[in-house]
């Protein structure tokens, strides 16, 4: 799905990512871990095209992303939930969600109802300015917004930061469902009338056929353990370890994740 | 030095470029002409053009540059009074010569400046006389841009009108900022003022850019020249070329020259101008004539003195006569002002003026107005024994001169 | 622990204007230092705080939890003078009516805050950030002539150690990662030596181990400072919690020990989940 | 020769109506002949031209009216070589001339072969009055009204007689009204008290300024302190009439002031609304905004030059042309300069200031530093006469309408289309907008183009009010920023309401304070207002805005 | 902190040294060298350079509030002009009865606009020291009052910029009014001498140049101390996160007010030095475009570095002098192009070039 090879990135003169390489298989759910400041966010921004890279190659679905601008990458189906939420503060919740419609490519005018099923609070706040929401509400909005463009690859940078516990577990569910949709039944709670059912079913079907690949930066290990099937560990701008969740040993944690 | 340098100090950018650029071109044309005639004292003239950019301190700086760096023999320049005031100390300090071509408020006579435009007595007073006698105007609106020239002119006019028995309530005075563009209220007020049953006229010292919106508003509010004529002192052919003149036919201006004047000198001048600018539509105007006169006077004076030395030239130039473009002779007076005819013209549909009245004789420019109490007793005379620009005939003293 | 040491160290040369802090170290007090009574805040008709009443004791460490949008950050806004309530009273100690003070005066009085979204001075170095936060005379002229004393320098260095940014002291704060900024902001709080610390989501974006360190740090402040912590990380809250207040829809839903609160069905329903 | 035949026809009809049968034929043999009078007219110096006109009129020749009209319109010439008096109308390479005496077309000649018979103001008034008398019976009621008005200026017995006669047959209400007013004005001087009072009562509702002046005179005292009007009843009626007129005038005066304010406001709004987008929404401090307006104004000029015969529709061509030109220039500025400066908003100030200098000098180089003359289409000239005391100038009126139209259109574009949402998203968080798949570059270019295009359109409107010259932009840029900020950055409604309120406030102040002081007071007001509402009239609200 | 110290020593010492050298050499080259010497500087050049230095001082003032505190003042020309008027009034009073009307007290423009006596606000200006006081006080007071209201009301960003513009615009219109008693549009001009020295003599002009240079050096050094002080860092913090500074217990409005007033006083001093050298002060100095230009000098030089402002002011004005003489009809193209290119190619201004090298080293 996504592969990064020999990536080097600099902030001005300071070398942040060093010959970084990684591979994310289709349909995987990968957790990227590492201490503060090792370059996780930087890496995600490079993948998204928001930061220029000095050298190296980023490939997505067998095409090179390197020459593409961020908005073109979005159109290819990469959804991004940034660290710090990055809500459009003066747009209403509804407008925030609508910003993703263009990249969907299917001319739809409305926001898919499933978003509100996942995050009901957004429905009640459609007219409120994004910037007025509480931190946690904003985080939900940020995820919802990324889902609007119906991503094939979903990149999440610390998505549960500041989210109340019960919703954290819901977000976990969402990620799991999006990711494991392939070949499996997906049920979002049905609360709506049957009129929207069809649309939703369609989305669900598409989703199921697609299966969203997930790249997740997260520090909370119990959450990671629940939603990810693979992990990568970063240190000082390099990927230093990786594997299936089962391979995440106490030793690795102590070596790279404790201070 | 194998050329004689002539400084041209007119704004080519900024707010005043609209008016002054033409004067720069005029000077270039006159110098070109003179060179074709073989130059001056056997040397070609070389114009030095600088752009003071409608910035008053820059005028002083550029004047200094012309006099010290370029060592020009004379400067032709300035339009607004403030630019002249800014340059004045510089030409006095460095003993340069400045020829100033625009009508102005008077109250000045410098050893180093020659005023070839009209003094108030060569424009404002005759115009008011005309309105009073010919149009039987009884009520007066004195409208002007809020700066020294209109203020002074209006002060002189107010004193003059009162001396003719006009009452306070029949005079309305209104000042507006530079570039004023919303004239609705003022024009409405003028309209009201003019509907009191007495013949009313507007004496306009409105300057430059503000005129276009002013006249447009006049036209739109239906104030025609017949109901309330406007006589302007700062609107010439150049300004009219930027206005749709159809609705303005019949409004007046007082100048010492109109492009429409039918004399051979003028026809020749216009032809040369059209050739020089390669534009048959370019108009000529009063300050251009002033430069024409000033330049020719300077040339004659230099020839007479046999040198471009400022002291010799200023001595030689007094009394020199050159033809003006309206068929008479302009003479440099000892007060550094010149003699001029006064013409009143009405705006025509084609943007020209038609002369409707003219002084019988030439009027001598008066540096110090006789209608202002403080300057009544002051005279300017740059010839011995007085040799002073502001000589008080009462105290017999020459004030404020550095020489 | 380094953290504890830093917080304990008296910084000579900086007068602590109120001796009461030292007093209560001996006997943890039950005297409220912060009173919120009947505080209501609404935005365009929406009630973010609804007749909220809350007391914080001197030297106490209080955790506040509650669903997203319950009004926790708004409560801090109201206490620090950022938002004016429509109704209600807020007192600091017995006498200081916070509603009559503006932000700097409230800060001066000894209430400091860490924002939910880390906010540091991005163009300045880590060191300078700490220096600016330092408790000292903050009037214009004295700031102009301020010189760092050796003790002040030591204090800054100690805090740098505490927050693990010694190596970054000359970095511009804008170049720090998210988590580093969180630490820096905590460091700035420490520099201010406040009586009341309001800490909004301090461990967001931290690793498990960093979270533990923060817990230690906050615990070490207990007794000397009143600390109000808002956090959604339940492990963290459990590790520091004494008394826990649950906010819901702008008012207190319940209050009590962690284990009580945790098992309250209403809290499970609106907040914790199954 | 259409006009002539037309005129003659009218002349005869007029005479017929005046019940003077046979007049048409009779004219030829009375007094001086038409040809002689014409020669006198040609040779008279300005001071004697009036008398020559009278003589000509006395000939009662059917050709008199067209000749006098031509004289009034400046179409009357004589040939320098043979002295023939001719009508001249502009044609290519000179004037097409027609002999006055025998209506022979004499071909096209150069201006220099002719001499115009010039007139002056006094003469113009005189001519109009004379023509009025002669034309009192023309078909066009508007022209009749003018004729009556011209005659009312000098109410001698002859004119009164004509007017009375006309009143009996007049069908148009406005003309009748005007004649009645004129007759009443005359009656005020009547010896009989009853007639005077009747006349006064007739004038009670009149908004004719002469009526008010005349009525006021009745209330004045002479030097000795005696009333000019001896009869107290007459004075009392006059008093009542004056009061009623004055209260009406006050009302209409207020309406007029509001209109003045709205129209000044409309100009401000037009000038700033494009800025409300580029500055308010995109955050670009565009110092070249004024120059983009200037381009719009020059476009109007060029369009008028290109289609000389179609003045009346020129604006409808100029508006889209100006929009396009300014939009394209705007897009060029955005693509060439501004796009490198996002995230550095203050730098846009520096670069666009450079652009503004550049554009100014460019038009100076292309069009010369002189102002260009932009003509006003006939449908925008003059005023909409509501009544004698209130008339709205048409150009202002249309510009007010236009302003509202532009505003509404813009609002729709930003509301309805995706671009409205996207541009705000881009402005608020460029990186995130990209990550959401918004083509920020295209959005920037289009938005900047839109704002610039509107500036161009505003320039078309300004060309109808003020100078079209290189400085046009500079004189509006400060005011534009002031309006946007006063209204609240980022809020189009704020710009609209802000512009109108500043306009009205200015016009309310102006009569008391004068133009200069009014402007100063407005500025002080803005400064104080911003203290009260530091984010303008309609501030952006919310947590984000406060931070 | 050590960081900032580095910054200071690396640039300031050579920079101040150059200024000091100019202060010494320019008058020498003007007065001591004969005109025939190739190194001789004409009085015209000296005066011109003196003017540049006053502009540099003005730019420095703007850089302090804009570059360091983030207050984009589009009205600093007002403080400059006020200082200039105060000096102009002194120079007018020095004329005494040598005016054209020979009035013992009233300046010429008052005589001919019928003023009967000197307005009260003209009192005291016959004393040099009083005038100097007003040179600093008038702009300082205006800045204080204006800033007190604006900062207390938390007017920030473009709102503040635009009302500073409104301020200078209003003052321009007010000073245009002849009723104000400051000479209307013509302003104050035709000065004769200062402290008894003839303003037109070479010696006086050289002295004015030296005074300007010393003022610039002094202001530069003082401002450097200010921005390197803790106050300087608070100011910079306000620029970046005003609210956060408040929550640290700083009274943001007072800090802003302090730097604003300080900057206004510097601008006033610059104006006072400018007027005797150019010979005129009139309301166009208040014009909003003038104030905008100052900001542009700073941006061209590089904001947020004191020397950038100085360099920018001198270079832009030098370019103007040259262009208006050499390319009188095209110079706006050249100037416009410079502004555009500097913005695009040198985001940190001209001195950014130099700084980049320094960082690389
Ligand atoms: N804009 C920037 N300019 C310079 N350096 C930066 C910038 N942003 C981040 N850095 C530096 O790059 C390094 C990596 O930062 P990054 O934000 O990628 O870390 P992270 O792994 O996401 O940390 P966290 O878990 O705290 O979010 C950090 O040391 C940080 O100081
Ligand atoms: N300026 C505002 N305008 C409108 N609504 C607001 C504003 N400020 C806050 N709110 C609303 O008030 C409620 C409380 O917000 P607050 O930020 O206090 O929540 P919180 O408890 O801190 O939540 P979280 O845990 O997610 O940070 C939210 O629903 C938010 O949308
Ligand atoms: N002298 C003038 N017209 O300013
Ligand atoms: Mg990160
Ligand atoms: Mg919160």
Q: B74-107 pLDDT, tens per residue? A: 999 999 988 999 999 999 999 999 999 999 999 8
The residue with tokens 């710090």 is: A84
Instruction: Indicate whether A158 belongs to any domain.
Output: yes
Q: How far is the CA of C115 from the centre of ligand 2 (A)?
A: 13
Ligand 3: residue whose CA is nearest its atom 1: B104
Q: What is the mean pLDDT of residues D129-143?
A: 78
**Tokens standing for A59?**
């490939």
For the segment D194-223, the average pLDDT, to the nearest whole number, is: 82
| pLDDT of E79 over the 60 cut | yes
Question: Is D1 a residue whose pLDDT tops 70?
Answer: no
pLDDT band at E356 (very low <50, low <70, confident <90, very high): low
Position D5 confidence tier, pLDDT thresholds 50, 70, 90: very low
Q: Is residue A73 part of a domain?
A: yes
* Closest CA in chain E for residue D356: E336
DSSP string, B8-45: EE--SSSTTHHHHHHHHHHHHHHHHHHHHTT-BTTB-E
pLDDT band at D129 (very low <50, low <70, confident <90, very high): confident
Tell me which residue in D344, D357, D530 faces E332 most closely, judged by beta carbons: D357
> Are the beta carbons of D489 and E159 separated by less than 8 Å?
yes
Which pLDDT score, from 0 to 100, does residue C204 have? 80
CA of E84 to the centre of ligand 4 (A): 54
pLDDT bin (cut points 50, 70, 90) of residue D19 is very low
- Kindly report which listed range (C56-60, D142-146, E178-182) carries the lowest average pLDDT score: D142-146
Q: Is the pLDDT of residue A186 over 90?
A: no
**Per the CB < 8 Å rule, is C146 touching E251?**
no
Does ligand 2 come within 6 angstroms of the Cβ of A133?
yes
Whether A137 lines ligand 2, by a CB cut-off of 6 Å, is yes
CA distance D487 to chain A (A): 17
Give the pLDDT band (50/70/90) at residue C14.
very low
Q: Band of the pLDDT at B266, cuts 50, 70, 90?
A: very high
DSSP per residue over D35-52, as a string? HHHHHHHHH--HHHHHHH
pLDDT score recorded for residue D11 = 45
Q: Which residue has the higher pLDDT, E225 or C31?
A: E225
Kindly state the average pLDDT of the residues E323-350.
87
**What does the pLDDT average to over E274-279?**
94
Q: Return the number of CB contacts < 8 Å for A and C.
A: 104
CATH number at residue A234: 3.40.50.300
Q: What percent of chain E has pLDDT over 70?
A: 95
pLDDT of res. E262: 97
Query: In chain E, what residues touch B177 (CB-CB under 8 Å)?
Result: 173, 176
Centre of ligand 3 from the C-alpha of residue B392, in Å: 25
Q: What pLDDT does residue E208 have? A: 96
Residue-wise pLDDT tens digits, B319-368: 999 999 999 999 999 999 999 999 999 998 889 999 989 998 999 999 99
Decide if A235 is inside a domain.
yes
User: Distance from E132 to chain D by nearest Cα, in Å?
Assistant: 28
For residue D21, what are its two tokens? 């049968």
Q: Select from D357, D478, D531 the Cβ nearest to the Cβ of E288.
A: D478
Residues within 6 Å of ligand 3 by CB: B 80-81, 102-104, 149, 234
Does any ligand 1 atom lie closer than 6 A to the CB of residue A36?
A: yes
Buried b / exposed e over A124-140, threshold 16 CB at 10 Å, is ebeebbbbbbbbbbbbb
Instruction: Tell me what ipTM this predicted complex has.
Output: 0.88
Residue E81 has pLDDT above 90, yes or no: yes
Instruction: Report yes or no: C43 at the A interface, CB cutoff 8 Å.
Output: yes
Q: Specify if A29 maps to a domain.
A: yes
Minimum CA–CA partner of E228 in chain C: C144
Res D204: pLDDT: 83
Global confidence as pTM: 0.88
pLDDT in tens, C119-134: 899 889 999 999 999 9
Q: How many domains does chain A have?
A: 1
Question: Are there at least 3 beta-carbon pairs closer than 8 Å between C and B?
Answer: no
C-beta of residue D435 within 8 angstroms of C-beta of residue A82: yes
Asked if E284 and B89 come within 8 Å (Cβ–Cβ), the reply is: no
Q: Is the CB of A38 under 6 A from ligand 1?
A: yes
**A71 within domain boundaries:** yes
For the segment C212-229, the average pLDDT, to the nearest whole number, is 88
Residues A21-32 have a mean pLDDT of: 88
pLDDT at B32: 96
Task: Sort C157 into a burial class: Cβ within 10 Å, 0-12 / 13-18 / 19+.
Answer: middle
CA-based end-to-end distance of chain C: 36
Confidence band for D545, pLDDT divided at 50, 70 and 90: low
pLDDT-based confidence at E122, cuts 50/70/90?
very high
- Residue of E130, E158, E11 whose CA lies nearest to E72: E158
- The atom of ligand 3 lying closest to the CA of B84 is 1
Q: Does C23 touch chain E (CB under 8 A)?
A: no
Q: How far is B129 from chain E (nearest CA, A)?
A: 24
Q: Which two tokens stand for residue D334?
A: 């955005």
Q: Which residues of D touch B209 (CB under 8 A)?
A: 371, 466-467, 469, 471, 475
Of D528, D524, D532, nearest in space to D506 by CA: D524
pLDDT value at B7 more than 90 = yes
Question: Tell me: the pLDDT tens digits for D218-265?
Answer: 888 877 778 777 788 888 888 888 898 889 889 999 999 999 999 999
User: Are chains B and E touching, using the cut-off of 8 Å on CB pairs and a minimum of 3 such pairs?
Assistant: yes
Q: How far is CA E98 from the centre of its chain?
A: 30
Give A225: exposed, middle or buried? Use CB within 10 Å, 0-12, 13-18, 19+: middle
Q: How far does the centroid of ligand 2 lie from the alpha carbon of residue A132, in Å? A: 6
- Structural domains in chain C, CATH included, are 2-120+176-273 (3.40.50.300), 122-175 (no CATH)
Reported as a pLDDT band with limits 50, 70 and 90, residue A120 is confident
- Does the structure show a pLDDT above 80 at C6? no
Interchain CB contacts (distance < 8 Å): B and E: 130
Distance CA A25, CA A22 (A): 10
Mean pLDDT of D61-88: 86
The whole-chain average pLDDT of chain D stands at 85
Atom of ligand 1 nearest to the CA of C182: 26
Please report which confidence band the pLDDT of residue D72 belongs to, taking 50, 70 and 90 as the band edges.
Answer: confident
Nearest residue to A242 via CA among A30, A40, A4: A30
Mean pLDDT of D200-212: 81
The whole-number pLDDT of residue D326 equals 97
User: For residue B32, how far is its CA from the centre of ligand 3 (angstroms)?
Assistant: 27
For ligand 2, is residue D543 a contact (CB within 6 Å)? yes
Q: Residue E149: list chain D partners with CB under 8 A.
A: 531
Band (pLDDT 50/70/90 cuts) for residue E317 is very high
Handedness of CA D227, D228, D232, D237 (dihedral sign): negative
Mutate one of C41, C45, C64, C69 to test the A interface: name it (highest A CB count within 10 A): C69
From B105, B122, B146, B253, mutation site for ligand 3 pocket: most ligand atoms within 8 A of C-beta: B105
Residue range A198-236, pLDDT digits in tens = 433 433 443 444 578 889 998 888 888 888 888 999 998
- Residue in C closest to A217 by C-alpha: C205
For residue C234, what is the nearest residue in chain A, using CA coordinates? A165
**Structural domain boundaries enclosing A47:** 2-82+151-188+207-257
Model confidence band, residue C270 (pLDDT cutoffs 50, 70, 90) = confident
Residues whose CB is less than 8 angstroms from the CB of residue D250 and which lie 6 or more positions away in sequence, other chains included: none
Residue A19 pLDDT greater than 70, yes or no: yes
Q: Is C178 in the pocket of ligand 1 (CB under 6 A)?
A: yes
Of A247-256, E135-144, E218-227, E294-303, least confident by mean pLDDT is A247-256
Average confidence (pLDDT) over D4-29 = 43
pLDDT confidence of residue C274: 64
Query: What is the whole-number distance in angstroms between the Cα of residue A237 and the centre of ligand 1?
Result: 10
Does residue B151 have a pLDDT over 90?
A: no
pLDDT at E253: 94
For residue range D295-323, what is the model confidence (pLDDT) as tens digits?
Answer: 999 999 999 999 988 889 999 999 999 99
* Assigned domain for A119 exists: no
Q: Does C213 touch chain A (CB under 8 A)?
A: yes
Q: Give A83 Cα–ligand 1 centroid separation in angstroms.
A: 11
Provide the pLDDT confidence category of residue E360 given band limits of 50, 70 and 90: low
pLDDT in tens, C171-202: 999 888 888 888 899 899 989 988 999 999 88
CA of C41, closest atom in ligand 2: 12
Say how many Å lie between the CA of residue C125 and the centre of ligand 1: 15
In the block, tokens 């020291």 appear at: E129
Q: Is the pLDDT of residue C12 over 70?
A: no
Taking residues A9-31, what's their average pLDDT? 89
Give the pLDDT confidence of B35-72 residue by residue, as tens digits: 999 999 999 999 999 999 989 999 999 999 999 999 99
Instruction: Give the whole-number percent of chain A exceeding pLDDT 70.
Output: 88
| End-to-end Cα separation, chain A, in angstroms | 33
Domain assignment present for residue A114? The answer is no
Average pLDDT over residues D420-428: 89
* CA-proximal residue: ligand 1, atom 25 (nearest): A36
| pLDDT value of residue A181 | 58
CA distance D80 to D95: 14
DSSP per-residue letters across B198-227? S-EEEEEE--GGGHHHHHHHHHHTT--TTT
- Average pLDDT of the residues of chain B: 92
Ligand 1 neighbour A16 (Cβ under 6 A): yes
In a domain, A124, yes or no: no
CA angle D259, B175, B54 (to 5 degrees): 105
């Amino acid at each position: 799905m996504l592969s990064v090879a020999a990536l080097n990135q600099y902030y001005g003169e300071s070398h942040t990512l060093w010959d970084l390489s990684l591979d994310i298989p289709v349909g995987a759910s990968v957790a990227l871990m590492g201490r503060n400041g090792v370059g996780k966010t930087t890496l995600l921004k490079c993948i998204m095209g928001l930061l220029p890279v000095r050298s190296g190659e980023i490939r997505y679905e067998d095409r090179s992303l390197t020459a593409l601008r961020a908005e073109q990458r979005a159109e290819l189906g990469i959804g991004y939930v940034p660290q710090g939420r990055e809500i459009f503060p003066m747009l209403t919740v509804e407008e925030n969600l609508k910003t993703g419609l263009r990249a969907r490519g299917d001319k739809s005018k409305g926001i898919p109802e499933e978003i509100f099923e996942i995050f009901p609070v957004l429905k009640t706040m459609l007219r409120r300015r994004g910037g007025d929401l509480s931190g946690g509400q904003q985080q939900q909005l940020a995820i919802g917004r990324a889902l609007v463009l119906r991503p094939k690859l979903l990149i999440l940078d610390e998505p549960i930061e500041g989210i109340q516990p019960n919703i954290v577990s819901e977000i976990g569910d969402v990620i799991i469902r999006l990711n494991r949709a392939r070949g499996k039944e997906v049920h979002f709670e049905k609360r709506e009338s049957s009129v929207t059912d069809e649309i939703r079913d369609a989305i669900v079907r598409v989703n199921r056929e697609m299966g969203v690949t997930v790249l997740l930066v997260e520090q909370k290990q119990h959450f990671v353990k629940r939603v990810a099937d693979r992990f990568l560990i970063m240190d000082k701008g390099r990927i230093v370890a990786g594997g299936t969740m089962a391979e995440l040993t106490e030793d690795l944690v102590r070596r790279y994740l404790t201070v | 030095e194998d050329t004689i340098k002539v400084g041209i100090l007119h704004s080519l950018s900024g707010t005043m470029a609209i008016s002054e650029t033409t004067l720069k071109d005029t000077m270039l044309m006159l110098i070109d002409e003179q060179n074709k005639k073989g130059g001056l004292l056997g040397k070609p003239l070389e114009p030095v053009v600088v752009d003071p950019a409608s910035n008053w301190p820059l005028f002083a700086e550029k004047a200094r540059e012309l006099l010290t760096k370029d060592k020009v023999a004379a400067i032709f320049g300035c339009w607004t009074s403030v630019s002249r005031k800014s340059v004045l100390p510089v030409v006095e300090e460095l003993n340069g010569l400045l020829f100033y071509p625009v009508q102005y408020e008077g109250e000045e006579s410098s050893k180093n400046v020659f005023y070839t435009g009209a003094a108030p007595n060569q424009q404002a007073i005759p115009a008011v006389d005309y309105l009073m006698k010919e149009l039987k105007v009884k009520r007066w609106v004195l409208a002007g841009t809020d700066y020294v020239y209109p203020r002074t002119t209006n002060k002189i006019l107010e004193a003059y009108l009162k001396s003719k028995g006009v009452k306070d309530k029949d005079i309305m005075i209104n000042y507006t900022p530079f570039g004023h563009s919303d004239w609705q209220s003022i024009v409405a007020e003028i309209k009201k003022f003019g509907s009191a049953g007495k013949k009313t006229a507007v004496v306009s010292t409105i300057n430059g850019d503000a005129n276009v919106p002013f006249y447009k508003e006049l036209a739109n509010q239906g104030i025609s020249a017949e109901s309330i004529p406007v006589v302007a002192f700062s609107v010439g052919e150049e300004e009219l070329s930027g206005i749709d003149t159809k609705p303005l036919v019949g409004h007046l201006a007082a100048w010492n020259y109109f492009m429409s004047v039918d004399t051979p000198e003028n026809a020749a001048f216009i032809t040369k101008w059209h050739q020089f600018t390669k534009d048959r539509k370019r108009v000529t105007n009063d300050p251009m004539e002033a430069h024409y006169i000033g330049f020719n006077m300077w040339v004659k004076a230099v020839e007479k003195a046999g040198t471009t030395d400022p002291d010799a030239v200023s001595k030689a130039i007094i009394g020199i006569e050159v033809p003006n473009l309206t068929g008479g002779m302009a003479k440099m007076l000892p007060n550094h002002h010149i003699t001029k005819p006064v013409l009143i013209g009405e705006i025509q549909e084609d943007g020209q003026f038609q002369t409707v009245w003219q002084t019988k004789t030439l009027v001598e420019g008066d540096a110090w107005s006789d209608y202002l109490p403080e300057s009544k007793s002051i005279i300017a005379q740059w010839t011995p024994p007085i040799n002073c620009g502001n000589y008080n005939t009462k105290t017999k003293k020459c004030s404020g001169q550095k020489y | 622990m380094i953290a504890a040491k830093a917080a304990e160290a008296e910084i000579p040369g900086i007068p602590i204007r109120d001796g009461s802090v030292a007093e209560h170290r001996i006997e943890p007090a039950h005297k409220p230092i912060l009173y919120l009574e009947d505080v209501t805040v609404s935005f365009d008709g929406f009630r973010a705080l609804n007749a909220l009443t809350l007391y914080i004791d001197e030297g106490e460490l209080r955790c506040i939890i509650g669903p997203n949008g319950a009004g926790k950050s708004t409560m801090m806004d109201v206490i620090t003078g950022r938002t004016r309530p429509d109704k209600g009273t807020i007192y600091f100690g017995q006498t200081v009516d916070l509603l009559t003070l503006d932000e700097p005066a409230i800060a001066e009085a000894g209430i400091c805050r860490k924002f939910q979204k880390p906010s540091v001075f991005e163009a300045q170095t880590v060191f300078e950030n700490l220096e600016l936060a330092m408790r000292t005379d903050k009037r214009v002229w004295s700031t102009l002539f301020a010189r760092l004393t050796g003790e002040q320098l030591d204090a800054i260095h100690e805090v740098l150690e505490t927050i693990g940014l010694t190596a970054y002291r000359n970095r511009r704060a804008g170049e720090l990662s998210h988590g580093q900024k969180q630490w820096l902001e905590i460091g700035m709080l420490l520099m201010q030596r406040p009586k009341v610390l309001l800490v909004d989501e301090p461990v967001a974006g931290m690793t498990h181990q960093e979270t533990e360190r923060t817990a230690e740090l906050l615990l070490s402040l207990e007794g000397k400072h009143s600390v109000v912590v808002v956090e959604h990380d339940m492990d963290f809250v459990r590790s520091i919690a004494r008394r826990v207040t649950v906010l819901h829809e702008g008012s207190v839903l319940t209050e009590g020990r962690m284990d009580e609160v945790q098992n309250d069905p209403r809290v499970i329903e609106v907040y914790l989940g199954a | 020769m259409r006009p002539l035949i037309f005129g003659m026809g009218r002349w005869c009809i007029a005479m017929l109506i005046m019940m003077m049968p046979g007049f048409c034929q009779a004219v030829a043999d009375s007094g001086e002949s038409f040809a002689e009078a014409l020669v006198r007219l040609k040779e008279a110096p300005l001071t004697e031209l009036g008398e020559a006109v009278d003589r000509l009129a006395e000939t009662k020749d059917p050709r008199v009216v067209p000749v006098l009209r031509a004289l009034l319109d400046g179409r009357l010439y004589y040939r320098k070589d043979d002295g023939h008096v001719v009508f001249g109308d502009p044609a290519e390479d000179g004037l097409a001339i027609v002999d006055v005496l025998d209506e022979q077309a004499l071909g096209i000649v150069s201006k220099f072969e002719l001499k115009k018979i010039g007139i002056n103001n006094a003469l113009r008034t005189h001519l109009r009055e004379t023509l009025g008398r002669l034309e009192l019976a023309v078909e066009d009621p508007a022209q009749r009204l003018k004729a009556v008005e011209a005659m009312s200026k000098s109410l001698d017995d002859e004119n009164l007689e004509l007017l009375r006669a006309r009143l009996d047959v007049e069908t148009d209400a406005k003309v009748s009204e005007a004649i009645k007013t004129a007759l009443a004005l005359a009656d005020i001087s009547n010896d009989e008290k009853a007639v005077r009072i009747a006349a006064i009562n007739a004038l009670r509702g009149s908004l004719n300024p002469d009526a008010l002046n005349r009525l006021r005179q009745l209330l004045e005292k002479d030097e000795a302190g005696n009333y000019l009007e001896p009869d107290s009843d007459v004075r009392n009626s006059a008093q009542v009439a004056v009061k009623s007129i004055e209260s009406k005038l006050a009302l209409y005066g207020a309406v007029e002031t509001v209109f003045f304010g709205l129209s000044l406001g409309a100009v401000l709004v037009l000038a700033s609304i494009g800025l409300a987008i580029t500055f308010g929404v995109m955050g670009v401090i565009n110092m070249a905004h004024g120059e983009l307006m200037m381009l719009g104004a020059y476009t109007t000029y060029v369009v008028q030059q290109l289609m000389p015969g179609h003045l009346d529709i020129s604006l409808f061509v100029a508006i889209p042309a100006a929009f396009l030109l300014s939009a394209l220039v705007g897009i060029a500025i955005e693509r060439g300069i501004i796009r490198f400066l996002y995230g550095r908003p203050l730098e846009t100030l520096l670069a666009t200031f450079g652009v503004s200098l550049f554009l100014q000098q460019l038009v100076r180089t292309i069009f010369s530093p002189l102002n260009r003359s932009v003509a006003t289409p006939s449908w925008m000239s003059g005023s909409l006469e509501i009544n004698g005391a209130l008339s709205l100038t048409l150009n202002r009126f249309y510009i007010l309408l236009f302003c509202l139209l532009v505003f509404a259109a813009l609002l729709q574009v930003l509301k309805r289309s995706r671009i409205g949402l996207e541009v705000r998203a881009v402005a608020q968080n460029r990186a995130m907008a990209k990550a959401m798949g918004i083509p920020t570059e295209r959005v920037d270019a289009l938005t900047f183009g839109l704002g610039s295009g509107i500036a161009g359109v505003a320039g078309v409107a300004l060309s109808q009010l003020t100078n079209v010259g290189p400085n046009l932009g500079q004189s509006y840029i400060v005011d534009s920023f002031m309006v946007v900020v006063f209204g609240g950055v980022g809020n189009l409604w704020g710009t609209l309401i802000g512009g109108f309120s500043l306009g009205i406030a200015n016009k309310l102040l102006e009569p008391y304070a004068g133009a200069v002081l009014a402007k100063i007071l407005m500025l002080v007001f803005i400064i104080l207002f911003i203290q009260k509402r530091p984010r303008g009239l309609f501030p952006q609200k919310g947590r984000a805005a406060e931070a | 902190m050590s960081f900032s110290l580095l910054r200071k020593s690396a640039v300031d010492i050579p920079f101040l040294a150059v200024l000091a050298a100019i202060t010494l050499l320019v008058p020498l080259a003007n007065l001591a060298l004969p005109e025939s010497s190739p190194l001789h500087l004409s009085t015209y050049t000296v005066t011109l350079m003196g003017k540049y230095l006053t502009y540099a001082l003005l730019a420095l003032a703007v850089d302090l509030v804009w570059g360091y505190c983030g207050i984009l003042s589009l009205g600093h020309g007002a403080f400059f002009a006020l200082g200039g008027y105060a000096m102009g009034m002194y120079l007018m009073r020095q004329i005494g009865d040598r005016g054209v009307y020979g009035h013992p007290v009233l300046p010429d423009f008052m005589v001919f606009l019928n003023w009967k006596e000197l307005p009260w606000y003209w009192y005291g200006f016959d004393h040099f020291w009083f005038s100097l006081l007003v040179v600093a006080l008038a702009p300082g007071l205006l800045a204080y009052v204006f800033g007190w209201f604006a900062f207390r009301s938390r007017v920030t960003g473009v709102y503040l910029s635009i009302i500073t513009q409104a301020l200078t615009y209003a003052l321009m219109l007010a000073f245009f009014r002849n009723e104000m008693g400051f000479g209307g549009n013509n302003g104050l001009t035709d000065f004769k001498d200062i402290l008894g020295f003839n303003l037109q003599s070479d010696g006086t002009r050289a002295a004015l140049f030296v005074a300007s240079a010393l003022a610039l050096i002094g202001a530069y050094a003082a401002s450097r101390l200010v921005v390197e002080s803790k106050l300087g860092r608070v100011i910079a913090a306000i620029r970046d996160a005003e609210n956060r500074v408040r929550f640290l217990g700083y009274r943001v409005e007072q800090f802003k007010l302090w730097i604003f007033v300080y900057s206004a006083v510097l601008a006033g001093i610059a104006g006072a030095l400018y007027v005797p050298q150019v010979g005129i002060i009139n309301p166009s100095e208040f014009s909003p475009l003038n104030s905008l230009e100052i900001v542009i000098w700073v941006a061209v030089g590089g904001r947020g570095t004191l020397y950038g402002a100085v360099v920018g002011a001198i270079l832009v004005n030098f370019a103007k002098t040259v262009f208006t003489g050499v390319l009188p009809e095209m110079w706006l193209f050249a100037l416009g192009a410079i502004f555009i290119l500097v913005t695009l190619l040198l985001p940190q201004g001209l001195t950014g070039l130099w700084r980049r090298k320094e960082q690389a080293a």
